[in-house]
Structure 1
Amino acid sequence: MTDVIVAEDLRRRYSGGYDAVNGISFAVPRGEVFALLGTNGAGKTSTVELLEGLAAPSGGTVHVLGHDPYRERAVVRPRIGVMLQEGGFPSDLTVAETVRMWAGCTTGARPAGEALAAVGLGSRERVRIKQLSGGERRRLDLALALLGRPEVLFLDEPTTGLDAEGRRDTWDLVRALRDEGTTVVLTTHYLEEAESLADRLAIMHRGRIVLSGTPAEVTAARPARIRFTLPEGVEPGRLPLALKAAAVGVPPRRSSGGGRRVEIRTYELQEALGELLGWAREAGVRLDGLDARSATLEEAFLEIASRTDDFRTDDLETVR
């Protein structure tokens, strides 16, 4: 079986007629990190709960490892790991006691020390839960999700509260799990995290998937940017015709040195940058603060988040 998660026309309606998940379809192959993104209320947590078997869909179907995760929960549950957005642990237990307690409810649990070492808590076994920092509690959440050596791992905001080092360590662990064949479904508000980890991603808005693909495919749908400052006395009108046409929405302001700040947006970054540098060389113009970069996932995300209109059916993209 290539796809370990398959959702077709998946829906989840709450009392009062609110459609949190409004007919989404996607598939996740084995050994892939798949990121599900969206603003608060977009429907990503409701979607993940359906995948985890915590609720039954109001419509459509979902299969995890070839089974209905809600109706066949007893079959699916031992083969998945779940890291919730927030765990609840008995505050007076030590870290080791908590892991051993959880292991007693887990099929084929790995040794407690192995799970704690994987998340960097090997030296904190005797510390009580109430003495852990917020970041250390997130590490413990992850250790418990890994106890059963899951084939599919659900991570809901896994690095919230972690410092930069802890976040990078978690990223390395997720990559290692993927390389071993674990399928990872990730939700996160850190777009850098999704861009770094995800093989593919989907952005949800109002219960629907509105953009999907690899991070590179998602960002390629937006123009790259070239920014620079022209010297005083050199106006943007002197730029080559093609670049003048691309310099749309240039802020009408000048730099502190009196020069004109220019922004060019283009889908052909290499060609536009080459033309700009060639013109500057021939004209003897110095481009201060020159910065050229491709579009970012954050830009694509914020554009979607800012939309207030309803999407048509043909706006939607199925993840495949």
Structure 2
Amino acid sequence: MNILLTGGAGYIGSHTAVVLTQANHEVVLLDNFYNSHKRVLGQLQKILGKNLHCVDGDVRNTTLITKILQDCKIDAVIHFAGLKAVGESVQNPIEYYANNVQGAISLLEAMKFANVKTLLFSSSATVYGDPQYLPIDENHPTGPTNPYGKSKLHIEEMLKDLTNSDNEWKIACLRYFNPVGAHESGLIGENPAGIPNNLLPYIAQVAGGMRSDLAVFGDDYPTIDGTGIRDYIHVMDLAEGHVKALEFLEVNNGWHALNLGTGRGYSVFEVIEAFEKASARKVPYHVVSRRLGDVSECYATPQKAKVVMSWSATRSLHEMCLSAWDFQRLNSVAAP
């Protein structure tokens, strides 16, 4: 298939581009490089032995998206593009709705015009909000607690309405838990612009001496050690899930929600300890107040994905930390 990846040079998009290309799909990347780096394109060339077609542009440019869909004969779209930091969304909600929701509407308008009706949407476990029970399955009530999660849920609801209006659409909302780690080559990984909002890249920068210490947001949660617990999933497991999801949509119309997680949660302190073992480096930290919009504990049951598309995560927390450290070490990723 010919597949358009919006936000394709970003963290998850770049790893998915590798897996899709190795599965003999042709990918086209679209990215405005707001929170990604053009050097990723060269790294992808090293991994794959070929240059990938990348368009420098914004997903909110409907005319541009339409042209790409038509000129490149796109069969399916994976929509990664969007802002993604929980704390930042609390501070800048309008920016999140403008980018995430408006971007999705622009993409859908272009897809409808070009008659491309297969879509994987990069959603998030944040749509569930504060868990009412654990592990979280896809039937768990939705109730996001921050604008980032609300923007994701609003897009999901738009997509559901779209499939209800036209049964030719094939849409899967992939509800990611917490992607971490890097490609085994160490050439691509998570390297956000500015100060990392996610735990693993921040820990990696501390271990690499790029930052002095880690701020742990709260140690008074009702968890095993007082720190927040999350379901961390290796980015390569996640990328492989997208290939399986596309195969699933080839034979399944309509709207589908699928959790992509491991089914196990780890606390912040457990992740710090695992990273110290993987890197043989100390990770100094200090505890600060809880972060707005965070929940105490969140982990998935990925059983539905295993049943309907024969996918499950296989890589361990140690592998996640080791690959993240390899990426940090090999690329000398420095703090801005």
TM-score using structure 2 length: 0.26
Give 1 or 2: higher helix fraction: 2
- Structure with bigger strand share is 1
